[in-house]
Amino acid sequence: MNSRSMPFKRLLSFLFVLTALPVLAAACGGGKAEPIIFSDLNWNSAQVQNRIVMFIVENGYGYPVSTVAGDAVSLQAGLQNGDTHVTMEVWLPNQQAWWDEAIPNKQVVLAGKSLDDTWRSMFVVPTYVIEQNPGLRSVDDLAGYMGVFETPDSNGRARLITCLVEWQCQTVNAEKVAAYGLEDVVALTDLGSRAAYFTDLEDTYRKGEPWLGYLWGPFSPVAGLDMTVLEEPAYSSECWEMSKRCAYPTSETFIAVHPSLVERAPAVVEFLGNYQYMASVQLAVEQWVTDNDATVDEAAIWYLESRDEWKRFVPREIAEKVEAALAAL
């Protein structure tokens, strides 16, 4: 071999390594790869989960992260279009129509499960209302207690706080009212925002006044209130398809990603598949936020520093990187 060729070949090898490094770094989730953008839905559990996962993705896997704020409807479109790459809470059946179109058409990909399965009902009242009106037990009893829930803006009917307009359950609730023959009994009322919704519930409860509405759990406000679900016939798929004159099905909450993320960040998608945010954890974090008047960013750091379960969702070397980043704060 010509001795003069050795330095040149080594130079070529060195240049090849330099050229390949960014590609290898991106494939492994290291370096300054393309950012991963999270759908920042406008409620606390989704925002806290975003910040937990973002801290792990940025400090453990090496991807820059950011968020796009919006409501469920706008961020459904954002995920489909690739304007965002991760949505931590897709609620079914609330978002069922969109899901049933986006998944088969491969516009979004199911990555994992987010929250625990949740109960929900259209007909929920504070327990003290039942104690004051012991004959009120089921939805069929509402006609005899319409005046209990009447308000100046309910046109002589019982005010029933329903879903927000961007939630599919608003349409479902109207169908349920019709199925029970309650059009002349209840006035469905949309308060316009999630904040107004819970302010109304908590203020009414604090005053000891009647409240009737759609509600779900577990989540922090409900966990601190003594509420009773009015009786309905048990859910069945036949009832739901025919009339909806029965209880809601159990809700499921999923993590969805844009298809491009599966290709460029498979390790992150694997992490999302392992991820869990159990009801007991969710309630503990929400209670800590309330007790400390904390932000969602502070809540995420508190969770990562005070709990260990997240370490089971990632490889050991990733967990060590995240722990080092927490220690440096």
**CA-based angle 163:71:267, to the nearest 5?**
120
> Tokens representing 301?
């750091």
Q: CB-based contacts of 159: which residues, under 8 Å, 6+ apart?
A: 149, 150, 151, 153, 186, 187, 189, 212
Kindly report, residue by residue over 103-132, the tens digit of the pLDDT.
Answer: 999 999 999 999 887 777 889 999 999 999
The predicted model gives 229-234 an average pLDDT of 95
- Could you give phi then psi for residue 157, rounded to 5 degrees? -110, 175
Kindly indicate the confidence band of residue 182, based on its pLDDT and cuts at 50, 70 and 90. very high
Kindly report, residue by residue over 43-84, the tens digit of the pLDDT.
Answer: 889 999 999 999 999 999 999 999 999 988 899 999 999 999
Given a cut of 90, whether residue 18 has pLDDT beyond it is no
Residues 126-133: contacts with CB under 8 Å, at least 24 apart: 126/204, 126/205, 126/210, 126/211, 126/225, 126/226, 126/227, 126/228, 127/226, 127/227, 127/228, 128/208, 128/226, 129/210, 129/211, 129/228, 130/228
pLDDT at 239: 95
Kindly indicate the confidence band of residue 173, based on its pLDDT and cuts at 50, 70 and 90. very high
pLDDT at 3: 38
Q: What domains appear along the chain, each with residue ranges and CATH number? A: 34-117+252-327 (3.40.190.10), 119-242 (3.40.190.100)
